[in-house]
């Protein structure tokens, strides 16, 4: 019979601890609501003794969240426990999460106590927490480096005292999956009252094994997994919950386990956490990374177009992502070219695939990544790729005042003859020069993305600006590189404007052909 794995999310506690800036109460509420929609069983909303802001956030979340359990972290100290309970008093169902170091390293060097004193602290803290709730979790901090004899002793003792969930954290990401599985198996074999509590695990990713350790713990009998969305957390982060959830789903026959997670909310929740926490998702991140469902190799692209299962074990639709991305580079094959042309509405009879592919490879070697509008130009207006750029920025000057207003003046060459001069005022130097360029070209464009990164250090560092502009429902990409950020921004926009102009020439050429 399938058994449920409890999903315990600590994005708002352990995850938030790792951020450069604390989340606001409003941001935490939005994340908590997203976690509830996702179907998370337990939301660890914070560590209320740590700050008045954390206390207020937990209070607010406790009033709003109805389906998930709310949990607060507390040290094994009376004041911590009392404040944790007070912060959650408006919650429908809440849990107090106690933690205490159990490894010799933590006991002697951090806590300056004996193991027997630690046992007494744990028991007295559970007794105090029982005044507020019977839903008590106890974490053996640094369990991964705790001797098995001591770990078994304290687990048996705290269960007897009334803890209903026992968490076995690999606090510093020390163990390997084989070692961690042995720890959990030993507890089940040696602790007499082990079946009176839920065994949970909380793994860190210092050696990149957090998810592997969590899965191995499930195999050994653990029934609760603790982690965060996108793997946020102290140092190298926590177990990425989306990875564990999908591993259980893909291998449901092997594990005979299930979760209450709404899989279609995974991608949206990941994006919400990334945006509010200002923590970009690595492009190669499993499940939710930009490249997770992107294919560049020609062999892979051909295989995916024939049957997605050839190179994808997860259907992106299942996590709420409706996309099939075939990246166009020099590694792409004819199948990807044909797919992109079809997506743009062209039939095979409209162009010569073999000729297009040869031209495509030449341009891809020069440019790196190819976009749909490049394919159009190659297929229907090939000569356009070899002529000089239509728009050239001959001169620009930007003056910024203390008020924040900036005045940009430009001289833009349009073709061989036309010289346009424009001046605009706007908030910020980049926006001012973009407004001037827009007025000069009269293209109704919308800036969708602006990304700046520095290459190198010091005054000679190059600023790389990558932008995406929407023009008539199509996206155009542009890149600028210069030691001056404003110049790099201007280059990127000129790059885009030239792509738009070329695309317009392609459309004119097609209209001529259709009228013949």
On whether 238 is known to bind a ligand per the annotation, the reply is yes
Parse the chain into domains and list their residue ranges.
Answer: 3-277, 294-385, 391-515
Predicted pLDDT at 94 = 97
Mean pLDDT in the chain? 88
**Above 70 in pLDDT, residue 220?**
yes
Predicted pLDDT at 382 = 53
Predicted pLDDT at 507 = 74
Q: Which DSSP string do the residues of 318-329 spell out, in sequence order?
A: GGT----EE--S
CATH 3.30.160.270 fits 391-515, yes or no: yes
For range 409-429, the mean pLDDT = 82
On whether 14 is known to bind a ligand per the annotation, the reply is yes
- Spatial separation of the C-alpha atoms in residues 430 and 375, rounded to whole Å: 30
Confidence class of residue 305 from pLDDT cuts 50, 70 and 90? low
Predicted pLDDT at 1 = 45
Of 94-103, 293-302, 371-380, 467-476, where does mean pLDDT reach its minimum?
293-302
**Above 60 in pLDDT, residue 184?**
yes
DSSP H/E element including 52: helix 52-64
Paired tokens of 53: 């802001």
Predicted pLDDT at 383 = 46
Cite the beta strand spans of 76-223 per DSSP E. Answer: 94-101, 136-141, 165-170, 198-203
Of 274 and 329, more confident:
274
Of 120 and 290, more confident:
120
**Above 70 in pLDDT, residue 386?**
no
Instruction: Decide if 3-277 and 391-515 have a common fold.
Output: no
For range 206-210, the mean pLDDT = 98
Confidence class of residue 207 from pLDDT cuts 50, 70 and 90? very high
Predicted pLDDT at 20 = 82
Q: Between 3.20.20.70, 3.60.15.10, 3.30.200.20, 2.40.160.10, what CATH number should domain 3-277 receive?
A: 3.20.20.70
Residues 446-489 have pLDDT tens digits of 998 898 877 555 555 667 788 889 988 888 888 887 778 888 89
- Contact criterion met (CB below 8 Å) for 319 and 300: no
Cite the beta strand spans of 211-342 per DSSP E. Answer: 224-227, 257-258, 294-295, 325-326
On whether 204 is known to bind a ligand per the annotation, the reply is yes
Predicted pLDDT at 323 = 65
For range 69-92, the mean pLDDT = 97
For range 16-36, the mean pLDDT = 91
Residue 61, C-beta contacts closer than 8 angstroms, at least 6 positions apart: 12, 28, 29, 32, 43, 45, 70
Of 76-85, 245-254, 373-382, where does mean pLDDT reach its minimum?
373-382
pTM over 0.75: no
Cite the beta strand spans of 39-173 per DSSP E. Answer: 42-46, 69-75, 94-101, 136-141, 165-170
- Spatial separation of the C-alpha atoms in residues 469 and 290, rounded to whole Å: 19
For range 70-98, the mean pLDDT = 97
Hunting for tokens 């007897």 — which residue is that? Answer: 160
Counting residues of the chain whose pLDDT is more than 90, the rounded percentage is: 53
């Amino acid at each position: 019979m399938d058994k449920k794995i409890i999903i315990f999310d600590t994005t708002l506690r352990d995850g938030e601890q790792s951020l450069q800036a604390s989340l606001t109460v409003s941001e935490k509420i939005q994340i908590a609501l997203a976690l509830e929609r996702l179907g998370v069983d337990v939301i660890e909303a914070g560590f209320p003794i740590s700050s008045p802001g954390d206390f207020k956030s937990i209070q607010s979340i406790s009033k709003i969240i109805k389906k998930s359990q709310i949990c607060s972290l507390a040290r094994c100290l009376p004041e911590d426990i009392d404040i944790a309970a007070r912060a959650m008093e408006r919650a429908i169902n809440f849990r107090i999460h106690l933690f205490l170091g159990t490894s010799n390293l933590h006991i002697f060097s951090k806590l300056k106590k004996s193991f027997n004193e630690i046992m007494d602290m744990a028991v007295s803290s559970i007794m105090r927490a029982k005044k507020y709730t019977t839903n008590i979790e106890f974490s053996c901090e640094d369990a991964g480096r705790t001797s098995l004899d001591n770990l078994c002793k304290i687990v048996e003792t705290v269960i007897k005292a009334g803890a209903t969930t026992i968490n076995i954290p690999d606090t510093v990401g020390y163990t390997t999956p084989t070692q961690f599985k042995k720890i959990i198996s030993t507890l089940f074999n040696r602790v007499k009252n082990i079946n009176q509590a839920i065994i949970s695990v909380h793994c860190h990713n210092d050696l990149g094994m957090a998810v592997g350790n969590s899965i191995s713990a499930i195999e050994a009998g653990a029934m609760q997994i603790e982690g965060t969305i996108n793997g946020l957390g102290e140092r190298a982060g926590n177990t990425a919950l989306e990875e564990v959830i999908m591993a259980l789903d893909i291998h449901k026959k092997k594990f005979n386990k299930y979760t209450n997670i709404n899989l279609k909310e995974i991608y949206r929740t990941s994006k919400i956490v990334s945006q509010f926490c200002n923590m970009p998702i690595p492009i190669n991140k499993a499940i939710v990374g930009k490249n997770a469902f992107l294919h560049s190799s020609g062999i892979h692209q051909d295989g995916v177009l024939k049957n997605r299962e050839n190179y994808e074990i997860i259907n992106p639709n299942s996590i709420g992502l409706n996309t099939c991305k075939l990246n166009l580079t020099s590694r792409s094959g004819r199948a990807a070219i044909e797919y992109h042309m079809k997506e743009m509405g062209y039939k095979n009879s409209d162009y010569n695939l073999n000729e297009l592919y040869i031209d495509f490879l030449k341009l891809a070697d020069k440019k790196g990544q190819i976009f749909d509008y490049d394919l159009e130009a190659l297929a229907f207006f090939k000569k356009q790729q070899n002529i000089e750029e239509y728009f050239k920025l001959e001169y620009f000057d930007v003056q910024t005042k203390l008020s924040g207003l900036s005045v940009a003046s430009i001289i833009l060459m349009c073709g061989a003859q036309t010289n346009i001069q424009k001046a605009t005022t706007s908030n910020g130097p980049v926006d001012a020069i973009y407004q001037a360029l827009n007025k000069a070209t009269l293209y109704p464009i919308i800036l969708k993305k602006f990304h700046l990164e520095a290459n190198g250090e010091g005054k000679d560092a190059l600023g790389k600006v990558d932008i995406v502009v929407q023009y008539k429902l199509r996206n155009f990409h542009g890149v600028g590189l210069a030691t001056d950020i404003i110049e790099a921004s201007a280059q990127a926009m000129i790059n885009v404007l030239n792509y738009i102009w070329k695309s317009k020439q392609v459309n004119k050429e097609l209209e001529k052909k259709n009228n013949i």
